[in-house]
Structure formats: structure tokens, C-alpha cells
Structure 1
């Protein structure tokens, strides 16, 4: 009966919102409008003219309905449209307020009434939003800026992503999609990939007010998206229209609206200081938009002035850091509707940021700042741009071309690093004695050139989508030791007559020497990522859609001299899905999809392994120290004696070495398979619900692993290879010494699941080999969602996710040990790091509950609220040794007796299973907002006070998971001590005026 009533209403109104049209797909930075024209009896109306007009820009397009009355408008800019259908013999029919959203297709079926002898009457209907898109097989959450303004949501794209089911806060400032690590996601703005390709953590950012709409893809995305095994954040920015607008917005997070941080105390009574931490943030933006030529050329520009000050004190209250980030933002968007069939848009913005941090001595007893000790500089961000052409070449064939790029600075250095060389006394009881303790200083710039070409061809029962996606990602990089001469000075004990590493002989009377080491890696490192895709969306019946797609990927990583050293191509990523409109009324769907997703090799691998490597060492006699004063502190300088022996650069002469012995010749890519089965339905015009089952399995890893055996015995022992980039637990083919003459001369293939690590007994005799465990990660989840669309009075959304993330490898970064060099984790530094290491992974949050909603008290006052309740991550107790040899890396084994024995076989270990030390506590975060909005003539005023962590929850977010830090009988006394806690309650005031 409900279906009949709805159908009758559709016929009476002349408009039916449904998804009975065969294809409902859209590209990355726009949407589509699809549907069917039917006569009063339900038969299709062929040949009718269907016209769509954007109410803001006047963009108008017309197509002829197909043989069964179907029509399609691809590549439409998001916004509100008027849809009209006309044909001789029928009354003209119009639908107003048709909303085209990002990455989706809005489906509108129109019913044309037969013309009468009376004057033709135009039947007008108003199209309301539907919650269910019955032809889509994607798992995505769409949120407009208008919807987000009703909620207390932190002003970032990541905060928006966290509203989606299955997305959680991860390590290193990132977010985790479906159990993946934070280094596996991709972010698009207006179709341009803005993801950091150096580490794949972070992305180019714009002010929240610059955005117009977000789409968070958590699974099942179609073949135009790739290079991710996590999720996709897809966003578009504001654009100009025929109406001239301007305004300003002030966002203020003052320190006096922050709850003072409370010091934390560990079980041993030691304090973790928070009481002196505070910040103050002020952002003021102004914007203007409108027509340059009405109905043709539009602009939108924004400038944002920023002021951010941050004060933090170290846990021991011995130092205070005062940081400031003053850089401003500018952004612009231009849209040219050359004709109704040809569009051109240009986006440019700068998120360049330079921050300065001053370090001071601090007295925790008095709360007083002392002497200045250092100044640190950090440069990040840069310019971003994209030029996009859209061509509607015929009623059934359209194309989109994007060319763009972005650049990001990557510089961290300090005043002390410029002025001071690092001096380390490596003799017993020594340490750092100079005025800097920094390691290698790195300066880099990353530059992406991106090109996309997308086509769409609509046939009778098929929609073909195909295109190519190419990126040229270049990192200019140099790393070096601090100090004016870029040397690290280290002091070692020696004796007269001893021969040093450079062949020099220690003179008489010398008992210590200084080694000055210049270690530098430099070069321009390029990676080419290329993909071709083809997808057929087949309307098998009016209610069943089959999605068949394939993406062909290729990754080409080059060394510092421009030569390929890691290349993987012909990677086939099939995607298949179906959607069934169960009742044929556009209100209920059953859907499923299966797909494969590949992850590229980040540029940090090129830089760390394939650059021009210089390792120059000079030796001097050590003649003691002389004190000197720097920033009010007393340090030591070296008194040099005569140089001993020649300068030695045999370890690296400043050129790119032979990488054939360091990289697997036949490396396989990292990929993940995903399977989703879901159901969605509408209770009525506003309420909808859904359930989704997800299974993800990560296959393979690319990481550095040490191979101490090449399988070739020379005098009864195998030759050693060293660290190799390859696939742990699989075959590795490397160039090595095959005839025992000490020179690499041929390739060998090693099955690293069984071999590659030489084993020795207590007497040093070779006794065989051990291999590596293959990486494993499996994510299983069940998601429930309930959604109530905004009706001018209130809206609500609720989700619950039950998930399990298990395996022995988190992904290309490692939360367990805090290692963020993507693809160079400690997972495979030896075979024991992941031996018997399977269990719940760091991003395993068993239960996730998310609520959000808004309520209009009256025409002027509105309330908003959010709640996130997240069960805690697992706690592991990491060791450093293993029961098989004397190596000393992270492992899941703890030495329990005879730990100081010289013979490794006498030491006794026990397995410390992953996640066996309980879980972190549940995390609760409640946000609330109150908004006052009112119009004063031509001005619209909006004032919002948002409070985050309303109840000032201070739950621990991470703990020390090192149970044993050395092979010894003693356990780490700080095991399970808190290392990070929830941010105390804070508030944000937003005042916005639009004209």
C-alpha cells in the first residue's frame, strides 16, 4: 500500500524521486542527474526533451530521452537545479529544488500527463532528497558545509571523516579507515589528489569555510579511485554564482575558554606535566564571489589571516616551548561556462606554513621561564592548482580533463643545528657534550604533477566509463648532520699502534681519537604512478544494476639519478558489484561488491635508499675539551690533535650506488581485497537505516628486511647481503656475490619464508637458516546506521560498528614502536619481530558508537551535538630478544631467566602475545554547539559557540608498550605508563557575516 500511495503521489505531482534509472554514478568532483520519463500508465516516453538548469549559475543542458524514457546528465557541478521535460502531446513537467551532490547521482523520475483540449498546464513538483541511492554499490558518507555548520565539528577534513562509520583516530596525527594504518588513505580537493606522497601521512589543507561539500568513502569505491588500501576523503570547494556575495568569518579559540590541563601521575609517583600547556588560535577570513560575466564567468576568492600561539612544558617541567604559526591562506576558484556544453574551472590555493618555536629553560617549582636555549623552524605546505575542462560532446558521450599539481615544503631545523655540530663522547660514561643533540637534518620539497582524463558513454543498457590517471611525484631532498661543517664528531677510546677503519695507525701517546663523519644523501627522486580504468554499469533489469570494472595500475620509483629501481606494472585491480532495488520503488536496496586495491611505494623509500650517498670519515687524535658558552649554557668543544690517516669515503662517495643488491628485482605490490554486503531502506521520506558487513584482507608488504645469508656457502658460511627492500615471506631476487670472491656478480632468488637469516650455535658455527613470517592483516566489521534527514527542524544520525582487526603487521607504519617512515618499519628488521606476533592490531577498536544531530529551537536559535564512544585499543608487551639467537630488536618475546648469559641458548624466553595486556579504556568525546542566526537587511549574521570534550574526559590514549628494553632480567619500570591523553575541554567562538 505504501508503494501504491507513493506512486499515486508521484503521478499526481508529476515527479517521482527514485533510482529506477539505469545508472547512478558520478565523477570525483561533481555529480550526476539521472532518471526516466513515464506516461500516466507507466510506459516510457521516448524522445522527450529534458532540460536541467542550475539555479545559481544558469548552466543549462538539454538531452533527448532514450527509447525507454531514460535520461542522464553526467559531470554536473554540485548544486541545486530545476529539471523540466517537454514533448508534443504531453504537458510540460518540472521538478524544482533538485539537489546534485558530490560523487553521487540524483535520480528523478518524471511523469508526463497527456495534453488535453484545454490549454496545457504545467505541473510543478518539488523534489525532496532521498536517503537511498539504489544503484550505488559504494560505501560513502556525504556531508555538506551547511549540514556541518549545524554540528560541533572541528574544522578539518579529518574531523569530517571521523563522523563516518569505521573511521577512527590513528597515530601520527592521521585517521584509520577500516583497520588500515594512517598511511593508506587518499584525499582529493576538486578532483586533485592532495595527499602527501612522501610519507602518505597528511595532505594539503584549506580553511573549513573554503569547502562546500565532503564525501567520505569507506569502501567499495569505483575504479576511478585507486592508490589506497584505506579510505578516501573527497571534497569540493565553494564556487561563484550569478549573485554577488561577500562576507567575513572570525574563528577564535582563546586560552581562557580552555580547561586547564591536569598533571598525570605514574604509579611510581613521577609526574606527567600538563598544567602549563595552553594555546590561542585566531583565524579571520574574508571572501567574495559572484559573476564576472553573468551566466558565463564566475569567481570565488578567500583570504584568511591566521595567528596561532602554543605553549607546552616537557613532562619533567625542565623546558618550555613557545611556538607561533603566523602564515596566512589564500585561495581562488574561477568557473567559465564557455557554452552549455563546455566548462572550464581553475582552482588555486596556498597552504604554505612556517612555524617558529622558541625553547627555554623552565622551573617547574616556581612556574617561571628561564634562559633561551634554542629556536626551531618548520616549513610545510605550498601552492596547489588544478585546471579542469568538462565537455558534453553529445547526449550520450562526455569527458573531463584535469591537469594540476601541488607542492609541499618539508623542512625542520633549529638555530642550534645551524651554529653547533653534534659532539658525542662514546667512551664509557660519556654522552652528548655539544650544544645540539639533533641527528640528521633534512630539507625537502615535494612536487606533484597530476593528469586525469575521464570519459563516460551511455548506451541503451550499459554505461561505459573509462579513463587514465597519471601522477609524476618528485621529491628534492638533502639530509646532513647539523653544524656549519656538517660533521658529526664522536670520541672513542684507542691505544697507540692500533689501526683505525681508514687504515691510519694511532701515534704513540694517543689513547683516544675523534672521528668526524660527514653523512649526506641528496638528489631529485621521481615516482610515476599511472593507471587506466574501464567500467561497465549494466542495467540487467529496471531494478538490478551490475557494476563491472577493472583498473590497471603501474608504479615506477626512480633513484637520485633518474633511473628506475623499483617498478611494478600490469597490476590488475578488478571491481565488481551489484545493487538490487528490492521493491522497485527506490526505497530499499540490497547491494554487494568485491574489489582489489593497490598501494604505491612512498617517495621516502626512494630518498632513504636510492640517493647519492656520501659517507666521508676523518680521524684525529683527541687532546681533550675546552668549555664554551652558548645561549647561557656551558658546553664542551673538542681540542683536536693531528689527523690520523687519510680521509675515507669508501662507504659512500657521493654517488648513487649499485642498488641491485638492495632491492628485490621482481618485487610484488602491496594490495588489499575487500568484500562488502549491505542493505539500506527508508522508513519514510526522512528516515532511513542500513547494515553493512565488511571483510578486508591485506596481502603482501613492501619493507626493508635484513638478509644475512645469500644461500651460497663460502668456507662453510653463507655470504651476507644486508638490508633489502622486498616482500617479506616471499621470494626475493637480489644481486650478490655468487663465487665467493667478495664482488657481487649475479642474481640469486631466496625464499624468505624459509631462508635468508643465517643461524649460528653458541660457538659461532653456521647451523642453517630461518625465514620471515608473511605479513597478515584482516579486518571484519558489521556496521549499523540510522539516519534522519534535516527537515528544517531537526536531523539525527547514529552508527554502531562492531569490528575485529587482527594480524601481525599494522601496515606501512608502525604504531607499536612509533615508527612513521612509511614502508621502512621495524616489522621485518629480523625474522623475530613478527614471529608468533599475530593478534589484535593497534587500530582494533572493537566497538564504535557515533551520534550526531541538530535541532532548531526557533527561527534564530539552533542546537547541535556529537558523541563518539570508542572502545580502547589493545596493549602489547614488547620485548627485544628471541629464543633463537642473540639479536636485539623488538619482538614479542621476554627474557625471564639467565638473560645475561653469554651463550644465547642458555637464555630462557616466554612468548608475550600481542594484545595480551588488556586494552586502553573506552574513550568518550561529547561536543555541543549553540548557534544564533538572524538577518539584518542584506546581512546574515551567525554566531556559534562550540564546546569540545564537553565533560572534560581525560582518558589515556596511548601507553608505553615496551615491557623489556634490553636483554636482561629487569622489566621496563615505565611499562603501561601513559604517553598521551585526551585534550582537555576547549571552546570555539565563530562569528560569521554574509552579504
Structure 2
């Protein structure tokens, strides 16, 4: 049935429904929804799920208000009665994830049905006039109609203001990729080691997604980006089973383009990058005890076989991953007041990759040179209790665990050292090791939370607490007998290296031999409590006021606290105004503060028995050696340059008081949103919202070379510390020049902390760091047409500007993926005069998706994601203030080999290299469906990147590789669009 709008009061009374005057706020927990409205005072209102038999009855208060909190998502039959007589006829109402359905019944409701929309006999409300969030809800059924990648992040990219970032993550509203949170059935499954990635389940196991891009409630925290909130399938009273085959053959993939340097040598070879992927999942669901106990279970057989070459086309990789997925969901409706659910799944994945020599010209692979092994994922489970303790007081309790492996190794790890030549394109490994570091890690989260709702007249109080204990068991080291990583760098005579050594005359390359090791068990505890009042001031105006108080406790490798930040107060204030009083339009807004925890990687890197030893040598050329029948290259080490540098880790936990600011402040973001949303007719709606975000503080490593105390005419040096750049730092150091730390000093790093020297090495003073800044401004326009069994359409346009000098905890400027330990503040000149457009600044974004059904069997779908290009920088390797040979926004243009004070530099601000081109990604699909006796068949062919555009998405931003040494690969692409590929899905449900 097509959508119809019911407008006459007589029809309103006949059906017993009216939505024009809704009184309760649109609020729900993160795993379910809610239902509220008005009816005759004292009437009894009953909801019943035909799928599970779940039934609840509440009595309306003296003002006719009723509310059902914590309802599992789905379709319910709603019926009111008073004094034993039914009020109107029963209706079906859809309760969606994280939203509240508002339905007024009979004479207690309003007399106009302008806001009621009947779609396929179900009542839905496209404009939720009691919500202050910026969120996008998408069901599995909607996703099956259009070509969308079969993972949670691809779903998130449908939302306005969300773009693909580096390192496999997504950027929400200008944030870096390590600032998001992902929940499955209320369990936080976000990677807490680097905060990039998350545990996941097969697409068919999901039921509904909600992508929160701003203004979310105080029950959500530990994110300054966005939230992906998802729930899984559940069993019902109907026994069902089926299978789904998803096939992505290499024969339906377009070749990647090869790219060459100015000399015609391979720079990035992609033409041999292909894969075959086959997933077959089988599932069953149904009642164990009718109306009481239900199950849903799935097993997915996986066969993934990727093939690729390295950038130069000299090594061929042939992989195999066939670890299966299993998952189950149990639901026990103990009675109409108590529910219990259990979720468990394993997303463990093992990949084996054989490495072969490859002849690019002949297109032929040679002998096998190595085999690499990778293990990821793990087991996850959560137990959730829901209690409707009284008609006005309800609660939810959750306890669960989330595990993720991080294990990488290879057969060559024992015998071969890692060697990388950073003088040439692609930074190739020229030794016999393919992986740069061996890592054996297991991350385990133990999560517990309590959430309560208490209705007190026109006030709905929500309060709760949650606590996570995140433990990383970690062992990492470089491969090879020496456990050292040899990297060859270009240089010029007279340059100063990171250890203070001066490059000798006649030397234009050096070798850095780095030994980096850490092991131990590292824990962080994140806790929070919150309270929120949702005050329905008038029937048309709702005020939402809440506060979340957080605490972060990070522990070192010995189990002792070394960073503790308490009493972080995050206020949130929002409103929603149904200004016409008809439930069809609203003006809404909110302001709030959001805090971001410190990743566990910082514990491992900063607070463990960490060894980071760097020794520099003159590069005296390459020598060949034979291993496993193959010839490789290794550097010939000349004289050592400068001292051995172990300032970032000497192999012990050490006294962290000299490495961590004792008064460190948290990273947080303030956000303000003002929006409007309105229904155009029974199926069309539109909206607009303005967004402002400002990130405060950074927690990053800084090299403090001056503690402010002169000893022998020069200041004491502290080394790399975790602190807030540009703010006061409190550190334990040597204050009486006896070489032993004895007291705390306060250093205002906005003015001091970095020692300055003249050409002769004499101390001449100090300077400080710029404060980190990031602002995001955006206007989002949305247009939506709801599916009416015939067609649907959704469009959004986002204009945004992301500016500042710090992208966030992850930094894609320099391609450095160590979250919280970026290169942005290593010395004061990396970010000096570095304000401008940030890497996630996509000034324009256009997103379209739609589906059209020709008949009951055939339908088509399409998507478009178009966005303007990111800014390109031109990083130099020095600065006009001292002899530091490090990243900066200055490039040397004259006297580059002379004394530091004689060099001439040119400032190249952020974005000085222009912008990358627009990116257009079009997807198309065709679906055939047919119902047999007792079975439903669905066949879908989807094509992604239909136009096969392979434009640059990332480039080499380094204009110089050394002071005055121009990088010949500047501006070359380091990341491109994925070539066109196709996906065939065949499913049968019984």
C-alpha cells in the first residue's frame, strides 16, 4: 500500500490514533526504542509483539500521558482501553533503534492526524519531534535495496558529514579516524589499542543501524567523532532458516592502474591487485519455548584469497583467509516485567600470505621468498537484563567482554633483519623481511553498565553508570637476529640528526639502526556516571539537560597508575520545538561537551619496559647477501654519527614522573548544533542543520630539551614527554644539577621548553609550542522520501570547513598511524605557522541513494558519493629558527648547506599544494525476488565504482626529504579509489 496521510478528525477517532500533540521526549537506550503518547486519563495501554508474544500494559496518568521505555525494536500492536471498553481499533507501530514512536490514542489525543503516516499498515513518523540528536537510522531491509558495502563502516558513510579517512577508518565531522565509538547490542566493540577499527559481525547478522553524528545523549561518551550503534537479529515465534551466498570474483574486478615516476620506473603497481571472496552463511532462528525463549544462530563460511604486488612490482603476495564466523543471540522473556538477552560471536580471522619474487615485465612470479601470518579478532559476548520494575521506573544492566588479537609474524622473522630504503619511492623493504615489526598482542575489554529511566510527571529522569577495564597484553620487537630495523635516509653534509649528531662532509645518506621492544600487561580503566532530565515544558516544547562525569585511569607495565584524570564534567543541553503543534515539523538544537580517553597504545609505548634505541651510521653503500636461495641487499655501516639515542625508552619502566605531565588535562570537544526538519507530504521530508565543533587540547609527545634550569650554561634536557602542547607542564627533573631528578618544575610550553642554540652550539634561549587547534563548521541539507513498496530516495549536501593545526590523535599529514603519539608536536616548529585546512577537510559532499521497484520481482538501486578533494601540503625538513632537521611548514630555498643562520627559508602554509580532484563513486544494483511455496529467493547484483574512477585520495605531502633536498616523489599518489568491482548475493529464506 502506498503511503497515505490521514487528516480528518473523524478518521482519527475511527482508527483510534492521533499524532498531532505528542508529549513525551524521543529517548531510548542504545539497544532498543520506546513508545509514548497521550490517551484518556486513567486508560490502560497495551503493546504486543506478534513476533514474540511480548506484552506490556501501562496505565495513563492523570494528564493522559503513557510511556513504554526500553522496547526491543520491531513492530508492535497498540491498543487502548478504559473501563473494559476498547478505545478505537488496534494499530501497528514501528519502534526503531534509539528513537521514540509517539502515538496519541482516541479522545485523549489531538483531533488532527496530519502527522500520521501509514506505510504498509504500519504507523511511522518521519519527523521525530522529540529528538535532539543528529542521527541516521538504516535498517537491513533498506540496505538490501541499494548497493552498499557489507560492513558497519560503509553504512556510516551514508550519513551526512562522514567521509573515508586514512588507516581504514572514518572521519565524522572533521574528526580524525581514532575518535569514534562502535556498539553492537550495547557492547562497546571499539578497538581501544589505537581506536581505529572494531569487532564486527556479518552483514546478515545485523538488524538495524543508527549512525549518530552529533548531539547524542549523556549515556554516550568517550568519543569526539561519532557513534555507530547497531543491533543484531533475534529469534521469534516463527521458526526460520536460510542461507546467503556472497561472491566477489576477480573476473568481475577492473584492473588497477599502474603509476610510474618521471624516469619511467614503477612507483605504484596496482594492475595485479585482485581478490576472490566467497562468503556463505547459514542461519536458523525460532522459539525454544513459545512466547518465552528464542534463539538466533549463524555460521558463516569464509574464503578470501587476495593477490597483489608491492608498489615496485617486484614482490607478489598471494593470501588466504578461511576462518569462519559464528554468532548467536538468545532472548528470554521471563515475564512482561523482566527480559534477559545473551549475545556471543567470534570474528577471529587468520590470514596466511605467501611472498614470491615477481617479474613485472614478463608478468610471471618466481620462487617463494617468505610466508607471513596475521591473526586478528576474537570472541565477544554480552549479557543484558531489562527490568520494568514499575510503570514509571525501568532499568537495564549489561556485562560483557570484547577480545581482539593483534599478531603479525613471518617465516623470515628469525633469520633476517628489516631493511628499508627511504631514498626511493614506496619506501620498499629491500631485505628479506616483509613485515617491519613482529607484534603479539591481545586486547580484552570488560564492560559493565547500568541505565535507569524514571518518569516523574513531565520530567523523565535518565541516569546510570558504566565502567570499562581495558587490558592489552603486548609483546613487540623488530625481526631478525639483531632485532634492529635499518632505514636508509638521504641527507646533506652539516645536517643535524635527531640524536644531535652532525652529518660529516661528503656524506649524502645515513643509516638509522633502531631497536624497539616492549612487553607486559597494560590496563586502563574508564568510568562514568550520568544524569539527564527531559522536561516536557509544554506539549510542544521539550528541554533536555544532562551531565556526564568521566574518569580515565591509565596504568603502566607494573600495574601502577601513571595518568589519572578525574571529574571531567561533560554538560549537554538540547531542545526540540514542535512549533506548529502538528507533529510534522520541528526546530531543534543542542550544545555539549565530549571527552576522549587515552588509547592503550600510549600505555604500551610510554609506560612499559620500553626500549627504543636509535644508532646512526654513515651509509657506505649496499651489499648483496643470499638467503633461502634469493639475493637481498643490506646496508654497509660506516662510522657512527653522534651518540646512541635511547631517550624515548631505555628498556625499563622508569620514573614516569619525568615523562608524563603530573597535571595533564584531557582532550575534549565542544559542539553546537541548530537544525530544522519538516514533512513535505506523507512520504517526503527535508531538513537542514548547522554544526560547529571545536577541539580543545591534545595529549601528545613533545621533546622537552629545556627544563628551565641552567647547568653549566646550558639547560637540562628532559626528553620526550606526554603532555598538553602549548600549556603548563609539570615534570619531575633535576633542579640542582647533580644529574639526579629531585623535584617538580612547571614549564609553560607556550613560551618555553625548547632550547635554542647558535651556529657554534651556544645556548641562546628557548621557545615554546603553538596550542593545538581544530574547528569544524558545516551546513547539512537533507531530503528524504520514505519507501512505499515502490520507490525511495535520500539526498544530502554538506558544506564544511575543517581548519586548525592538529587533525587529532591520529595524524594523516605525515602518514604516521601511532594514535596519540603523532609527529605534530615533536618539536615547536612542526606546527609553527601550521594553521589551515586539515586533511579531512572535504569542502563539499553530495550523497544520493535510491531504489525503485518495477514490480514484485524486479527492482534497481543506486548510490552516489561525490566529494571535493582534500588539501595538499608541502612539508619541508628544516626551519629558519634552529638547525633541526624535521618536518615543518618551511622549505629551504637558498644556502641550504651553509650554517643554520645563513639558510633562507620560505613559508608554505597548509594547503599550499592545492587540492586533490573531486571524487565520484557511483554504485548500481539490480535485484530479483520471488516467493516460492515456503521459501523466499533474492538475487542481487551490485556494481561498485561503476565509472571505474581511480583518482588520488592521498598523496606524498613531503616537499623535502632533507634540508634543501627536494622530494622527487612529492605529489605522487599514495592512495587511490578502489577499482570497479561487482558483488553477487543469493539468499534463500524458509
TM-score relative to the length of structure 1: 0.91
Distance 1:906 1:716 in 2: 25
Conserved? CA contact 2:647–2:719, under 8 Å: no
- Structure-to-structure mapping, 1:3-18, within 5 angstroms: 5=7, 7-18=9-20
Counterpart position of 2:945: 949
Superposition pairs for residues 243-262 of structure 1, below 5 Å? 243-262=238-257
> Where does residue 885 of structure 2 map in the other structure?
888
Distance 2:216 2:648 in 1: 47
- Residue 162 (structure 2) aligned to one of 158, 167, 170: 167
Counterpart in the other structure of 1:848 = 845
Partner of 2:201: 206
Deviation readout 1:725-760 (Å, 9 max, x if unpaired): 000000000000001111000000100000000111
Residue of structure 1 in register with 2:584 after alignment? 587
- In 2, distance between residues paired with 1:648 and 1:991? 59
Q: Contact (CA 8 Å) 2:91, 2:123: kept in 1 or not? A: no
Within 2, Cα distance between the matches of 1:639 and 1:399? 68
User: In structure 2, how many angstroms separate the alpha carbons of the residues matched to 1:140 and 1:160?
Assistant: 12
Contact 2:15 2:89 in 1 (8 A): no
CA contact (8 A) 2:774 2:802 kept: yes
Matches within 5 A, 1:231-242: 231-242=226-237
Q: CA deviation at 1:575?
A: 0.1
Matched, 1:828 2:825: yes
Residues 847 and 420 of structure 1: CA distance in aligned 2, closer, same or farther (over 3 Å):
same
Q: Distance in 1 between matches of 2:482 and 2:970?
A: 40
Name the SS for the 1:764 alignment partner.
Answer: coil
Q: CA RMSD in A?
A: 2.8
Structure 1, unmatched stretches of 5+, are 38-44, 115-123, 492-513, 619-623, 641-646
Q: Note closer, same or farther for the CA distance 1:95–1:651 as it changes in structure 2 (3 Å cut).
A: closer
Measured in 1, the distance between the counterparts of 2:872 and 2:512 equals 42
Task: After TM superposition, list the pairs within 5 Å mapping 1:273-312 onto structure 2.
Answer: 273-312=269-308
| 1:501-550 Cα distance to aligned partner (Å, 9 max, x none) | xxxxxxxxxxxxx9999753111000000000000000000100000000
Distance 2:264 2:635 in 1: 39
Deviation at 1:764, TM superposition (A): 1.6
Equivalent position of 1:104 in the other structure: 99
Corresponding residue pairs, total: 940
Between the aligned partners of 1:730 and 1:488, the Cα distance in structure 2 is 35
Find out whether 1:351 has 2:353 as its counterpart.
no
- Aligned equivalents of 2:914, 2:646: Cα separation in 1: 50
What displacement does 1:264 show? 3.1
Deviation per CA, 1:808-866: give whole Å up to 9, x if none.
Answer: 01000111101111000000010001100000000000100011011110010011111
Residues 1:541 and 2:538 aligned together: yes
Secondary structure, aligned partner of 1:826? coil
Report Cα offsets for 1:253-291 as digits up to 9, x if no partner.
001111222323455544432222211100000000000
Aligned counterparts of 2:75 and 2:588: Cα–Cα separation in 1: 28
Residue 110 and residue 617 in structure 1: after superposition, are their counterparts in 2 closer, same or farther (change >3 A)?
closer
Alignment of structure 1 residues 528-677 onto 2, 5 Å: 528-613=525-610, 629-634=626-631, 655-677=652-674
**Measured at CA, do residues 170 and 19 of structure 1 come closer, stay the same or move farther in structure 2, by a change above 3 Å?**
farther
User: Distance in 2 between the 1:950 and 1:651 partners?
Assistant: 48
Distance (Å, rounded) in 2 between the aligned partners of 1:70 and 1:214: 29
- 192, 210, 218: which is aligned to 1:215? 210
- TM-superposed deviation, 1:198: 0.1
Asked whether the 8 Å contact 1:713–1:719 carries over to 2, the reply is yes
| 2-structure distance, mates of 1:113, 1:762 | 85
* Aligned residues of 2:648 and 2:720 also touching (Cα < 8 A): no
Any unmatched runs of 5+ in structure 2? Answer: 110-118, 423-427, 489-510, 616-620, 638-643
Q: In structure 1, how many angstroms separate the alpha carbons of the residues matched to 2:270 and 2:429?
A: 28
Q: What residue is the counterpart of 1:494 in the other structure? A: none
In structure 2, what is the Cα distance between the partners aligned to 1:198 and 1:544? 42
Residue 960 of structure 2, aligned match among 956, 961, 964:
964
* 8 Å contact from structure 2 (residues 38, 108) kept in 1: no
Query: Which residue of 373, 379, 392 corresponds with 1:377?
Result: 373
Cα distance change on mapping 1:484 and 1:760 into 2, 3 Å: closer
Q: Which residue of 2 aligns with 1:53?
A: 48
The residue aligned with 2:922 is 926
The answer (yes or no) to whether the contact 1:31–1:104 under 8 Å persists in 2 is yes
1:653 deviation in Å? 7.3
- Would you say the 8 A contact 1:14–1:113 is kept in 2? no
- Pairing 1:137-152 to 2, within 5 Å after superposition: 137-152=132-147
Which of 356, 359, 371 pairs up with 1:360? 356
User: What SS class does the counterpart of residue 456 from structure 1 fall into?
Assistant: strand
Q: Find the counterpart in structure 2 of residue 981 from structure 1.
A: 976
- Kept in 2: contact 1:57–1:242 (CA 8 A): yes
In structure 2, do the counterparts of structure 1 residues 440 and 276 end up closer, same or farther at CA, with 3 Å as the change threshold?
closer
Q: Name the SS for the 2:106 alignment partner.
A: strand
Distance 2:512 2:914 in 1: 47
Seen in structure 2, the aligned counterparts of structure 1 residues 295 and 716 have a Cα distance that, compared at 3 Å, is same
**Per-residue displacement from partner, 1:443-490 (whole Å, max 9, x unpaired)?**
110000000100000110100000001000000001223236757799
Q: 8 Å contact 2:87–2:106 — kept in the other structure?
A: no
Mapped to 1, the partners of 2:318 and 2:683 lie a distance apart of 50
Secondary structure in 2 matching 1:290 = strand
Would you say 1:391 and 2:387 are equivalent positions? Answer: yes
Deviation, structure 1 residue 961 = 1.0
| Superposition map of 1:411-430 within 5 A | 411-421=407-417
Change (3 A) 1:260 1:515: closer
Residue 814 (str. 1) matches residue 816 (str. 2): no
Query: What's the offset of the Cα at 1:652?
Result: 7.0
1:643 aligns to what? Answer: none
Separation of aligned partners in 1, 2:350 and 2:139: 31
CA contact (8 A) 2:445 2:470 kept: yes
Tell me the CA shift for residue 127 of structure 1: 4.3
User: Following the alignment from structure 2 to structure 1, what is the Cα–Cα distance between the partners of residues 845 and 815?
Assistant: 24
Which moved further from structure 2: 975-984 or 85-94? 85-94
How far apart are 1:8 and its partner, in Å? 4.8
Q: Contact 1:90–1:112 at 8 Å: present in 2 too? A: no
Distance of aligned partners of 1:422 and 1:187 in 2 relative to their CA distance in 1, 3 Å threshold: closer
Structure 1 CA distance for aligned equivalents of residues 817 and 671 of structure 2? 25
SS at structure 1 position matched to 2:407: strand
The Cα of 1:951 is off from its aligned counterpart by: 1.3
Retained in 2: the 8 A contact 1:84–1:92? yes
Cα shift at 1:12: 3.5
* Residues in 2 aligned to 1:168 and 1:36: alpha-carbon distance in whole angstroms: 41
Q: Alignment partner of 2:391: what SS?
A: coil
Distance 1:95 1:678, change over 3 A: farther
C-alpha contact 1:95 1:127 (8 A) present in aligned 2: no
Q: CA deviation at 1:952?
A: 1.2
Q: Distance in 1 between matches of 2:254 and 2:569?
A: 53
**Alpha carbons 1:588, 1:682 under 8 Å: kept:** yes
Query: Quick one: distance in 1 between partners of 2:72 and 2:108?
Result: 30
Structure 1 residue 21: Cα displacement: 2.2
Give the Cα–Cα distance (whole angstroms) in 2 for the partners of residues 196 and 162 of structure 1.
19
| 1:973 Cα deviation from its structure 2 partner | 1.6
TM-score (norm. length: structure 2): 0.91
* Shift in CA distance, 938/18, structure 1 to aligned 2, threshold 3 Å: farther
Determine if contact 1:19/1:135 at 8 Å carries over to the other structure: no
CA distance in 1, matches of 2:943, 2:613: 55
Match of 1:328 in 2: 324
2:851–2:860 contact (8 Å) kept in structure 1: yes
Deviation at 1:316, TM superposition (A): 2.1
